[in-house]
């Protein structure tokens, strides 16, 4: 299948995609790297035309030593970790439930998958107003019905609320992938284990869970990459206030709100490094799959 002619045709046909992505990656990355070593405050009169001052690793040091850095790292970790735990655990349970025979499987599947298709701004707004509004939200009604004082969700339990919203959006993704993985489990294996006298919990721990381990890893890695850059949900609900400022949002504020491009770019480089660490693990798995 490979003659010189077809190989050179292949190179030509691959070129547009490769060149575009190379440009898309390298150009902004180089610029971010460049800005991260410069003092660049457009509001204070710095501009590219007049040249920027080289400040070495100043921005990197300042970004890390700023009082908002560690809280933002903590927020990011709690948010990503919380969503991961919720979606993976509930996802496994839900996948196992949906794998059982019951009436209306198709419809329930559709109901469960639906939140994934709701655009992030819509889900954030719907949750913020119609559910978490302390006066008119459904949750407030519910609390009052039980005689409790409505919770000020987005200010008193802001991080938990955002975790709830994001988990709701990503639970379908985890469920769908885990369900696909469960369905690929050979039922003879389970029957063999049953014949060997393994009770249900043992079958879960020793057969189902190991079988799912690869899918779980993939869910964790892919979600991590997306969750690290969660933006719209915070932008729409709290705007980064009440302890919901993640690393991504902090960088966004540095660049857009305080217009400190140098500092924001240094933060951006940190974010890129962080994402790449996760990405390497994901790519190992995907790469192995390519050889198979």
Partner 1 sequence: MGQITLENVTKSFGSTEVIPPLDLTIEDGEFCVFVGPSGCGKSTLLRLIAGLEDVTSGQILIDGAEATTTPPSKRGLAMVFQSYALYPHMSVRKNIAFPMRMAKIPAEEQERRIEAAARALNLTDYLDRRPGQLSGGQRQRVAIGRAIVREPAAFLFDEPLSNLDAALRVGMRLEISELHERLKTTMIYVTHDQVEAMTMADKIVVLRAGHIEQVGSPLDLYRAPRNLFVAGFIGSPKMNFIEGEEAARRGAATIGIRPEHIAVSTDSGPWAGTVSVSEHLGSDTFFHVQGTGLAETITVRADGEVGFRHGDRIHLTPRDDVIHRFDEQGLRIA
Partner 2 sequence: MARATSTQRKLGTTLLAWAVGLLIFFPIYWTILTSFKTEAQAISDPPVFLFFDWTLENYSIVQERSDYMRFLWNSVIIAGGSTLLGILIAVPAAWSMAFVPSKRTKDILLWMLSTKMLPAVGVLYPISLIFVEFNLLDTRIGLVIVLMLINLPIIVWMLYTYFREIPGEILEAARMDGASLGKEILYVLTPMAVPGIASTILLNIILAWNEAFWTLNLTAANAAPLTAFIASYSSPEGLFFAKLSAASTMAIAPILILGWFSQKQLVRGLTFGAVK
Q: Which residues bind partner 1 (CB under 8 A)?
A: 1-5
Choose the one of partner 1, partner 2, none that binds residue 4, judging by a C-beta under 5 to 8 angstroms depending on kind. Answer: partner 1
Convert residues 35-54 into a mask of x (bound to partner 2 by CB under 8 A) and - (unbound).
Answer: x-------------------
- Among 81, 62, 225, smallest CA distance to 162 is for 81
130 binds partner 2 (CB under 8 A): yes
39 has which bridge partners? Answer: 53
Task: Among 78, 203, 236, 242, indicate the residue that binds partner 2 (CB under 8 A).
Answer: 236
Choose the one of partner 1, partner 2, none that binds residue 17, judging by a C-beta under 5 to 8 angstroms depending on kind. Answer: partner 2
DSSP state of 149: P
Choose the one of partner 2, partner 1, none that binds residue 189, judging by a C-beta under 5 to 8 angstroms depending on kind. Answer: none
DSSP string over 199-254: -HHHHIIIIIHHHHHHHHHHHHHHHHHHHHT--HHHHHHTTT-TT---HHHHHHII
Task: Among 32, 72, 158, 244, indicate the residue that binds partner 2 (CB under 8 A).
Answer: 32
CB atoms within 10 A of CB 236: 17
**Residue 95 near residue 175 (C-beta atoms within 8 A):** yes
Q: Report the C-alpha gap between 268 and 232 in whole angstroms.
A: 18
Least Cβ distance, residue 13 to partner 1 (angstroms): 16
Task: Among 84, 88, 128, 153, indicate the residue that binds partner 2 (CB under 8 A).
Answer: 128
182 binds partner 2 (CB under 8 A): no
Q: Hey, which residues between 247 and 286 contact partner 2 (CB under 8 A)?
A: 248, 251-252, 255-256, 261, 264-265, 267-269, 271-272, 274-276, 278-279, 282-283, 285-286
Q: Report the C-alpha gap between 73 and 79 in whole angstroms.
A: 10
Q: Dihedral sign, CA of 35, 38, 44, 46?
A: negative
- Among 135, 136, 126, smallest CA distance to 164 is for 126
Task: Among 61, 64, 85, 122, indicate the residue that binds partner 2 (CB under 8 A).
Answer: 122
Q: Hey, which residues between 135 and 174 contact partner 2 (CB under 8 A)?
A: 135-136, 138, 141, 144-145, 168, 171-173
**Residue 222 near residue 84 (C-beta atoms within 8 A):** no
Task: Among 9, 61, 85, 209, indicate the residue that binds partner 2 (CB under 8 A).
Answer: 9
Convert residues 210-229 into a mask of x (bound to partner 2 by CB under 8 A) and - (unbound).
Answer: ----xx--x---x--x--xx
Choose the one of partner 1, partner 2, none that binds residue 117, judging by a C-beta under 5 to 8 angstroms depending on kind. Answer: partner 2
195 binds partner 2 (CB under 8 A): no
Burial 113-145 (b: 16+ CB within 10 A, else e): eebbeeebeebbeebbeebbbbeebebbeeeee
């Amino acid at each position: 299948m490979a003659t010189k002619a077809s190989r050179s045709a292949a190179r030509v046909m691959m070129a547009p995609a490769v060149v575009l992505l190379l440009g898309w990656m390298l150009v902004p990355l180089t610029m971010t790297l460049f800005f991260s070593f410069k003092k660049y405050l457009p509001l204070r009169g710095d501009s590219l035309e007049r040249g920027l001052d080289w400040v070495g690793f100043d921005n990197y040091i300042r970004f890390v030593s700023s009082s908002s850095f560690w809280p933002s790292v903590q927020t990011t970790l709690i948010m990503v970790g919380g969503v991961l735990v919720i979606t993976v655990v509930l996802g496994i349970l839900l996948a196992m439930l949906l794998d059982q025979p019951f009436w209306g499987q198709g419809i329930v599947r559709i109901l469960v998958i639906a939140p994934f298709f709701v655009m992030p701004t819509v889900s954030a707004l719907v949750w913020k107003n119609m559910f978490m509004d302390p006066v008119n939200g459904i949750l407030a009604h519910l609390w009052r019905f039980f005689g409790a004082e409505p919770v000020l969700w987005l200010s008193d339990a802001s991080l938990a609320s955002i975790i709830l919203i994001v988990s709701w959006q990503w639970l379908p993704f985890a469920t769908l992938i885990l369900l696909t993985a469960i369905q690929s489990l050979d039922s003879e294996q389970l029957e063999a284990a049953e014949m060997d006298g393994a009770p249900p919990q043992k079958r879960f721990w020793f057969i189902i869970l190991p079988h799912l381990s690869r899918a779980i890893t993939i869910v964790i890695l892919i979600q991590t990459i997306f969750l690290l850059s969660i933006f719209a949900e915070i932008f729409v609900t709290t705007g980064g206030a009440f302890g919901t400022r993640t690393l991504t949002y902090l960088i966004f504020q540095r660049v857009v709100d305080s217009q400190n491009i140098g500092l924001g770019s240094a933060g951006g480089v940190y974010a890129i490094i962080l994402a790449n660490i996760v990405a390497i693990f994901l790519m190992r798995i995907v790469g192995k799959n390519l050889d198979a």
